[in-house]
A and B are shown apart, each in its own frame.
Chain A
Amino acid sequence: MSRQMTGAEMVITALQDQGVEVLFGYPGGSVLPIYDEIFKQEKIRHVLVRHEQGAVHAAEGYARSTGKVGAVLVTSGPGATNAVTGLADALMDSIPVVCITGQVPTHLIGNDAFQECDTVGITRPCTKHNWLVKSIDDLPRILHEAFHVAKSGRPGPVVIDIPKDVQFATGTYVGPKNISHKTYRPKIKGDMEAIRKAVEMIGKAHRPVFYTGGGVINSGPAASQLLRELVKTTGFPITSTLMGLGAFPAEHEQFLGMLGMHGTLEANMAMHESDLIVCVGARFDDRITGRLDAFAPLAKKIHIDIDPSSINKIIKVDVPIVGDVAHVLEDMIRVWKQTQPEVDKKALDKWWKKIDSWRARKCLAYRGSDEIIKPQYAIQRLYELTKKKDVYITTEVGQHQMWAAQFFKFDEPNRWMTSGGLGTMGYGIPAAVGVQMAHPKSLVIDIAGEASVMMTMQEISTAVQYRLPIKIFILNNHYMGMVRQWQELLHGGRYSESYSEALPDFVKLADAFGGVGIRCDKPADLDAAILEMIDTPKPVIFDCIVDPAENCFPMIPSGKAHNEMLFGDMVEDIGSVIDEKGKMLV
């Protein structure tokens, strides 16, 4: 299909041809021609956010909960710079987003024109790729190429910067074809030789563990199914990164919980003492490995990743397999069935006994209270009261995020949206907006902290406008909790600037936005209040007043090894656990 149209029409036609149903954006001078085209059509629904950062996070939430590409439209200059945090977030977490930015007309580029900025220059390091479209002839190709780059291989955000004169210019539109990009060809199938070697190693392992990450989710639902099959066939324990939660059912007996800095004892000890780590779509991030020279000292490592640059970046692995998780796991299962390796059952039993001894330590235990709501308790109740429902969870960043990862159990992929790599406070509300747009009938909850919420709370207004009944469940401890925890552990309890002073009345705030506010500060009232929240068909801010002094444990202090964890019940005064020398070193 090719026909004559303006650049602005091409943008909207290409989005439609690429299957975009929802576009998150904010208008401005340099994108008005495109907004004019939005006005003239009904296929694509535009969601007007309140800040461009919110547009990108909403697109991320949409993308992560559907597996589709998130689409964003913002104006030049401040529109583009405001989007940068979202783009960096999407790059770190490998989320497919196509962000279209307006630009001043080509003849004004470089003149410091009004609302001009070097968008491709600014976004170059925080996108997978970006384009400045200088000619209408290039526009259709670039639009389709952008979707291809964003969603294939290791997904990521891309930016298309379109000057206003190109939006007005007329040219020939070409629809999407099966484009074979001349340079960009990600490897999908894994090397069979490496896969056979991997299966052989898995068959011989005595103390194995699967270490899985966001790559499983990104690979699609089939990857999660194949992972479940392989893990159940082998009978091996499995742990997951923050990004990979939901790929394997959390309630399953083989699941050890999340690993890493705030992971469980059993997950971290299993990594530390294992003789084989099968890394599936994870990247040995510093929150996972802790001290590198003490990381899994006895383990051989198999690493499945679609991005060759993830392999041997931080940890040298023995068998790298470059390919898409679903394809590689499918091949692995086939080879496993063909070769029928004889697993050493006795060794595996011994390994599980050891793991059970770590489990018996009950590392997530905390001291309950009848007086004050413990944040962990709040998440546990939230989970129990929603687990039979069709629920999606987003989070902000901090203690509440870690507690959510520890205590909320996910059964399926694409149900858990959190800013893992960049750690962006303010991610949760706009992400919840995006998720709710994709799943209007589902229960979408942003597990939040009172400090993070203040960063993007303007998007509550978006939720109200589009009648998106998102639930913002604030664990309000009046502190930037994770900052306070680090100050307690590492800076002598000097709580420099981490107290949330002058907080708004969240119930009144919800009311002012046109939502519903609920406050709860007694454990006895919590269940009823959560049920009230669930039953409210409007956006809700739930102000859950929790213990301000609670810390998030277990914890591997930075620079420590997996077997050097701190626990909540170790001592009364946690500040004394790390000595003066240790504080300097961490």
Chain B
Amino acid sequence: MNTTHYPSQVVFESPETHTLSVIVDNEPGVLARVVGLFSGRGYNIESLTVSETEHEAHLSRITIVTTGTPMVIEQIKNQLARLVPVHRVVDLTVNGRVLARELALIKVKGKGDARVEALRLADAFRARVVDATTESFVFEITGKTDKIDEFVGLMGPLGLVEYSRTGVAAIARGPEPM
């Protein structure tokens, strides 16, 4: 029951997940502006990565995976574009030619059969061993988000200790820049 003074939210559309690429000036506070915008306006962030991409031009690229109705996604893009240090906002999902990858480091501890099984699965998922002791491995895996989810899920019963993920980096297919 709505007991506020404000009209209840009217939802006409179902939510979609979009991957946005945002080119920003690499200046202090720019990430805080982007993150503050999302928290302040109640938008979702599923993944956010940021790194300087053009050192000479002081440009950084922020990749954001977010979920919302088409109207909310349009708002997010417009609100991002309104920030003064933002150069461009491109919705990579719109043309459907998005390449998205993330990297994860996964620590697994175990002996005997579990250890062998973990190594076999790692091979199947093309994960590399980047650190090993007699009772542990650290795997490095890259791929789409769901592939990494899958691999982490499989490691669970085989002695998963902890893991660290980079979040999504994304780019459009084909020869053209965004």
Task: Write out, one digit per residue, whether chain B residues 9-25 have a CB within 8 A of any chain A CB (1) or not (0).
Answer: 01000000000000001
Distance of A132 Cα from B29 Cα, bound (Å): 9
- The answer to whether the Cβ of A357 comes within 8 Å of any Cβ in the partner chain is no
Distance of A307 Cα from B7 Cα, bound (Å): 24
- The answer to whether the Cβ of A360 comes within 8 Å of any Cβ in the partner chain is no
**Nearest-neighbor residue (CB-CB) of A557 within chain B:** B5
- In the assembled complex, the CB of A323 is this many whole angstroms from the nearest CB of chain B, namely 15
Q: Which residues of B contact A291 (CB under 8 A)?
A: 7
Distance of A120 Cα from B82 Cα, bound (Å): 18
**Nearest-neighbor residue (CB-CB) of A124 within chain B:** B36
**Nearest-neighbor residue (CB-CB) of A130 within chain B:** B29
The count of A-to-B residue pairs whose CB atoms sit within 8 angstroms is 64
- In the assembled complex, the CB of B68 is this many whole angstroms from the nearest CB of chain A, namely 13
Using known A-B contacts A124-B33, A125-B40, determine if residue A311 contacts B78 with beta carbons closer than 8 Å.
yes
**Nearest-neighbor residue (CB-CB) of A309 within chain B:** B78
- In the assembled complex, the CB of A303 is this many whole angstroms from the nearest CB of chain B, namely 13
- The answer to whether the Cβ of B85 comes within 8 Å of any Cβ in the partner chain is yes
- In the assembled complex, the CB of B32 is this many whole angstroms from the nearest CB of chain A, namely 7
Q: Which residues of B contact A128 (CB under 8 A)?
A: 84
Q: Are B2 and A585 in contact (CB under 8 A)?
A: yes
**Nearest-neighbor residue (CB-CB) of B28 within chain A:** A132
Task: Write out, one digit per residue, whether chain A residues 282-326 have a CB within 8 A of any chain B CB (1) or not (0).
Answer: 000010011111000000000000011101110010000000000
- In the assembled complex, the CB of A314 is this many whole angstroms from the nearest CB of chain B, namely 9
Q: Which residue of the partner chain, among B6, B29, B74, B87, contacts A558 with CB atoms under 8 Å?
A: B6
Q: Are B8 and A183 in contact (CB under 8 A)?
A: no
- In the assembled complex, the CB of B160 is this many whole angstroms from the nearest CB of chain A, namely 37
Q: Which residues of B contact A183 (CB under 8 A)?
A: 25, 84-87
**Nearest-neighbor residue (CB-CB) of A322 within chain B:** B78
- The answer to whether the Cβ of B81 comes within 8 Å of any Cβ in the partner chain is yes
Q: Which residues of B contact A181 (CB under 8 A)?
A: 84
Q: Which residues of B contact A120 (CB under 8 A)?
A: 29
- The answer to whether the Cβ of A1 comes within 8 Å of any Cβ in the partner chain is no
- The answer to whether the Cβ of A184 comes within 8 Å of any Cβ in the partner chain is yes
Q: Which of B2, B7, B28, B79 has the most CB of A within 10 A?
A: B7
- The answer to whether the Cβ of B75 comes within 8 Å of any Cβ in the partner chain is yes
Distance of A307 Cα from B82 Cα, bound (Å): 8
Q: Are B6 and A312 in contact (CB under 8 A)?
A: no
- In the assembled complex, the CB of B61 is this many whole angstroms from the nearest CB of chain A, namely 14
How big is chain B's contact interface, by range? Answer: 20 to 34
**Interface size (A, Cβ < 8 Å)?**
32
- The answer to whether the Cβ of B1 comes within 8 Å of any Cβ in the partner chain is yes
Interface residues of B in 69-101 (CB under 8 A from A): 71, 74-75, 78-79, 81-87
Using known A-B contacts A183-B84, A184-B84, A584-B1, determine if residue A124 contacts B29 with beta carbons closer than 8 Å.
yes
Q: Which residues of B contact A286 (CB under 8 A)?
A: 6-7
Q: Which residues of A contact B29 (CB under 8 A)?
A: 120, 124, 132
- The answer to whether the Cβ of A179 comes within 8 Å of any Cβ in the partner chain is no
Q: Are B2 and A312 in contact (CB under 8 A)?
A: no
Using known A-B contacts A184-B84, A308-B81, A309-B79, determine if residue A559 contacts B7 with beta carbons closer than 8 Å.
yes
**Nearest-neighbor residue (CB-CB) of B58 within chain A:** A182
Task: Write out, one digit per residue, whether chain A residues 176-212 have a CB within 8 A of any chain B CB (1) or not (0).
Answer: 0000011110000000000000000000000000000
**Nearest-neighbor residue (CB-CB) of A181 within chain B:** B84
Q: Which of B6, B10, B33, B82 has the most CB of A within 10 A?
A: B82
Using known A-B contacts A121-B32, A183-B25, A312-B71, determine if residue A129 contacts B84 with beta carbons closer than 8 Å.
yes
Q: Which residues of A contact B10 (CB under 8 A)?
A: 292-293
Q: Which residues of A contact B84 (CB under 8 A)?
A: 128-129, 149, 181, 183-184
Distance of A425 Cα from B84 Cα, bound (Å): 30
Distance of A124 Cα from B10 Cα, bound (Å): 29
Task: Write out, one digit per residue, whether chain B residues 59-71 have a CB within 8 A of any chain A CB (1) or not (0).
Answer: 0000000000001
Distance of A486 Cα from B6 Cα, bound (Å): 13
**Nearest-neighbor residue (CB-CB) of A145 within chain B:** B84
Q: Which residues of A contact B74 (CB under 8 A)?
A: 312
Interface residues of B in 22-63 (CB under 8 A from A): 25, 28-29, 32-33, 36, 40
Q: Which residue of the partner chain, among A132, A309, A486, A585, contacts B75 with CB atoms under 8 Å?
A: A309
Q: Which residues of B contact A182 (CB under 8 A)?
A: 25, 87
**Nearest-neighbor residue (CB-CB) of A558 within chain B:** B5
- The answer to whether the Cβ of A586 comes within 8 Å of any Cβ in the partner chain is yes
- The answer to whether the Cβ of B3 comes within 8 Å of any Cβ in the partner chain is yes
Q: Which of B78, B79, B84 has the most CB of A within 10 A?
A: B84
Q: Which residues of B contact A290 (CB under 8 A)?
A: 7
Using known A-B contacts A559-B2, A584-B1, determine if residue A309 contacts B25 with beta carbons closer than 8 Å.
no
Distance of A313 Cα from B73 Cα, bound (Å): 10
Task: Write out, one digit per residue, whether chain A residues 130-153 have a CB within 8 A of any chain B CB (1) or not (0).
Answer: 001010000000000000010000
Using known A-B contacts A183-B85, A558-B7, A559-B2, determine if residue A125 contacts B36 with beta carbons closer than 8 Å.
yes
- In the assembled complex, the CB of A9 is this many whole angstroms from the nearest CB of chain B, namely 25
Task: Write out, one digit per residue, whether chain A residues 417-438 have a CB within 8 A of any chain B CB (1) or not (0).
Answer: 0000000000000000000000
Q: Which residues of A contact B25 (CB under 8 A)?
A: 182-183
Distance of A209 Cα from B86 Cα, bound (Å): 37
- In the assembled complex, the CB of B139 is this many whole angstroms from the nearest CB of chain A, namely 39
Distance of A6 Cα from B71 Cα, bound (Å): 49
- In the assembled complex, the CB of B55 is this many whole angstroms from the nearest CB of chain A, namely 16
Q: Are A312 and B7 in contact (CB under 8 A)?
A: no
Q: Which residues of A contact B6 (CB under 8 A)?
A: 286, 558-559
Q: Which residues of B contact A132 (CB under 8 A)?
A: 28-29
Q: Which residue of the partner chain, among B5, B83, B85, contacts A586 with CB atoms under 8 Å?
A: B5
**Nearest-neighbor residue (CB-CB) of B72 within chain A:** A313
Distance of A311 Cα from B33 Cα, bound (Å): 21
**Nearest-neighbor residue (CB-CB) of B27 within chain A:** A131
Q: Which residues of B contact A124 (CB under 8 A)?
A: 29, 32-33, 36
**Nearest-neighbor residue (CB-CB) of A308 within chain B:** B78
For the complex of A and B, 10 pairs with smallest distance between CB atoms: A309-B78, A129-B84, A559-B7, A558-B5, A308-B78, A292-B10, A293-B10, A184-B84, A309-B79, A183-B87
Give 23 A-B contacts (CB < 8 Å), ordered by A residue.
Answer: A121-B32, A124-B29, A128-B84, A132-B28, A132-B29, A149-B84, A182-B87, A183-B85, A184-B84, A292-B7, A293-B10, A308-B78, A309-B81, A311-B78, A312-B74, A558-B5, A558-B6, A558-B7, A559-B2, A559-B5, A559-B7, A585-B1, A586-B5
- Further pairs besides A293-B10, A307-B82: 5, Cβ < 8 Å: A125-B36, A125-B40, A132-B28, A183-B85, A558-B7
